[in-house]
Structure 1
Amino acid sequence: MTTFPLIASVGLDGLLVRFGETLEEPANRAALAFRAALETENPEGVEECSTSLVSCFVRFDPLAVAPEDLTARLRLILERQDWYAADLPAGRRLLRIPTVYGTELAPQLEEAAALAGMSAEEAVKSLSQAQVRVTAIGFAPGQPYMGTLPEAWAIPRQTALTPQVPVGALVVAIRQLVLFSVTTPTGWRHVGQTAVKLFQPQSETPFLLRPGDEVRFPSVSREAYERMKGDPMGGLTAEALA
């Protein structure tokens, strides 16, 4: 039986600190908090830290620090506290991203709702009232994975790919939401459409969302969505979380 946290080597210049096998809130919390601690302490030789759903990746300079020495340092940091119950990093925000559910813009709402045992109206209420955490950024620039949704949304991915969904598509599967920053194929069901552009390479902060942020997707009309398409932020609003 695997015991977590676990430190594993990744190539010649990487270490992966794993807090679990699958996405669970305490493991994601631990990964986010541990990364924040490393960035504050800045151990010798560490060049970059990033998080996935339940892990923290540490890239280091092997000419500046031996991997076994850095591993020992990371173990000492792990032993300091219960990372699964740690405070989440400072600087988190609550973001609201207006969303059109269903219509021809997001044609798989009814299919996803049926799999979740809901009517389309119940599904819109559930998704628009949910508050989810950005658990990781990945797959494409600025693209967030967000969870976890109520148990009813433990619906599977599709067995085949949807050939293309647009920028701003909100998709659902396995109790998670993904908001696409690029046009792409997907195996997740397209239930909502937003006007937000998550990746803005011309900005000093090109990724709009960050791991640890909380997000809500309030339902808006098609008319409101069309107006928001002219807004550089796509109607997104943000407030600081305590």
Structure 2
Amino acid sequence: MNANAPQTGSGFPVVRPVGLTGMLVSFSDRLEERANRAALAFRAAVEAECKAGVAETATSLASVFLRFDPDTLSHDALGDWLRGLLAVRDWFAAPLPQGRRLIRVPTVYGTALAPQLEEAAAEAGMSPEAAIADLGAARVRVLTIGFAPGQPYLGPLGEAWDLPRQTALTAQVPVGALVLAVRQFVLFAAPAPTGWRHVGQTAFRCFRPEAPAPFALRAGDEMVFEPVSDAAFRRIAAQATDGAGGAVIEEIAE
């Protein structure tokens, strides 16, 4: 037995077929930092292999999905290959893929632009000032992209932010809204209703259909939503024409 193989006492990782043309490799049935890390690392390894018949890969919070051509590759053959790759190392301890970026985004917290900051702070047992300091210092990972084109789920945040969703629905938040629930941020790529609390507002556009790379973010990137004043944010928003919203981007040295 390979001493570096993943620990499977919990039943994970597990390989399952998804319809006629899909396979899913799951590292957990819930969001865990190590499971998200494993999914990101495993997807990078799958893509590096360039397996004939695999047409597309994607990650969720804790899984890797593969779409394949069943005329080139059978479910059984792909499943055997995936299980062999899983046995190569402990993916829960694997390093994150290279090429990730750190994006620092100017963000206004609270005010009329993000009206649920005080409510979220009270739920977390903090003053609004302490909440802004804590959220503004958090360095969060793009765990996955989903729900809307280019829209990231980010985390995990500290345990104080393990807040449930609202019981009522917010009719709409704007593009660039930073919302919070269940130890995660979501940065909204389009105006939409939500059950998450709107705590910050950015001028960052996650989806830029006019750009060569329409999705501004990739799973595995990291972000910091740095606090700025209402006046500073409005200046940034007025000047931002490229969708970056004043963000500063740097490569993460692995």
TM-score by length of structure 1 reads 0.98
Work out whether 1:141 is the aligned partner of 2:149: yes
Q: Deviations over 1:9-68 (max 9, x none)?
A: 111000000000111111000000000011110112100000000000000001111110
Q: d(CA) in 2 for partners of 1:8 and 1:112? A: 38
Q: d(CA) in 2 for partners of 1:140 and 1:80? A: 35
Match of 2:133 among 125, 130, 135: 125
Letter in 2 for 1:189: R
Identity of aligned residues (%): 59
Which structure 1 segments of 5+ residues have no match?
none
Give the secondary structure class of the aligned counterpart of 2:106: coil
Matched residue, 1:30: 38
Matched residue, 2:215: 207
Q: Deviations over 1:168-207 (max 9, x none)?
A: 0000000000000000000000000001111101111111
Letter in 2 for 1:156: P
Q: Deviations over 1:79-106 (max 9, x none)?
A: 0000000010110011101000000000
Work out whether 1:16 is the aligned partner of 2:24: yes
Matched residue, 1:53: 61
Matched residue, 1:69: 77
Q: d(CA) in 2 for partners of 1:67 and 1:161? A: 41
Larger displacement relative to structure 2 (71-80 or 196-205): 196-205
Q: Deviations over 1:205-237 (max 9, x none)?
A: 111111001100000011111111121211111
Work out whether 1:179 is the aligned partner of 2:187: yes
Aligned length in residues: 242
1:83-98 matches, cutoff 5 A = 83-98=91-106
Work out whether 1:169 is the aligned partner of 2:177: yes
Give the secondary structure class of the aligned counterpart of 1:125: helix
Letter in 2 for 1:41: E
Give the secondary structure class of the aligned counterpart of 2:40: helix
Which structure 2 segments of 5+ residues have no match?
1-8
Match of 1:239 among 221, 227, 250: 250
Q: CA deviation at 1:160?
A: 1.7
Larger displacement relative to structure 2 (227-236 or 171-180): 227-236
Q: Deviations over 1:114-150 (max 9, x none)?
A: 0001010010000000000000000001100000001
Give the secondary structure class of the aligned counterpart of 1:142: coil
Q: d(CA) in 2 for partners of 1:78 and 1:158? A: 39
Matched residue, 1:99: 107
Runs of 4+ in 1 over 6 A off after TM superposition: none
Q: CA deviation at 1:161?
A: 1.0
Q: d(CA) in 2 for partners of 1:30 and 1:2? A: 15
Q: d(CA) in 2 for partners of 1:10 and 1:187? A: 29
Give the secondary structure class of the aligned counterpart of 1:98: strand
Letter in 2 for 1:84: F
Q: CA deviation at 1:2?
A: 5.2
Give the secondary structure class of the aligned counterpart of 1:118: coil
CA-based RMSD: 0.9
Letter in 2 for 1:145: Y
Matched residue, 2:227: 219
Q: d(CA) in 2 for partners of 1:11 and 1:158? A: 34
Give the secondary structure class of the aligned counterpart of 1:31: helix
Matched residue, 2:161: 153
Q: d(CA) in 1 for partners of 2:172 and 2:10? A: 38
Give the secondary structure class of the aligned counterpart of 1:223: helix
